[in-house]
Amino acid sequence: MIASPIEVLIVRQDESYRIDKLPNDIKRLSHLVGGHLQAKTTKTATFWFNSHGKREKMPINYMATYLWWKLDPASESQDTINGPCVITGPANDSLEATDIYPDVLDLHATMELVREDVKP
């Protein structure tokens, strides 16, 4: 059975990003982040990234890290997300990822505008 597609935000460590509809599939998420999956959860989002990102010396994904910190202030400066990151909504009752929330997309868009304004 093919997993129903969900809307996700994919943020790369070079700060490029795209909003996409993808099958709700762990293998697909793992492929997008380049390896073993790790998830950091907030009330409104789940951040999926490579659990070996630091060990593999992947660059810090500043946009994904700052977005995570903004959604979970207790995490600020405690850790970083390294490498590409796929952001979904929180898990449902069946523990499946859900569509990214519009509020999270709006927050990312606002952060992206600020980033563009402060570029040298």
Q: Which stretches of 25-92 are DSSP H helices? A: 26-33, 62-71
Cα four-point dihedral sign 101, 103, 109, 111: negative
Q: Tell me the pLDDT of the chain (120 aa) as tens digits.
A: 556 899 999 999 998 999 999 988 888 888 999 989 999 999 999 999 999 999 999 999 999 999 999 999 999 989 999 999 999 999 888 888 899 999 999 999 999 888 776 665
pTM of the model: 0.91
Overall size of the chain counted in residues: 120
| CA 89 to chain CA mean position, Å | 10
Return the DSSP state at 61.
-
What are the structure tokens assigned to 2, written together? 């093919």
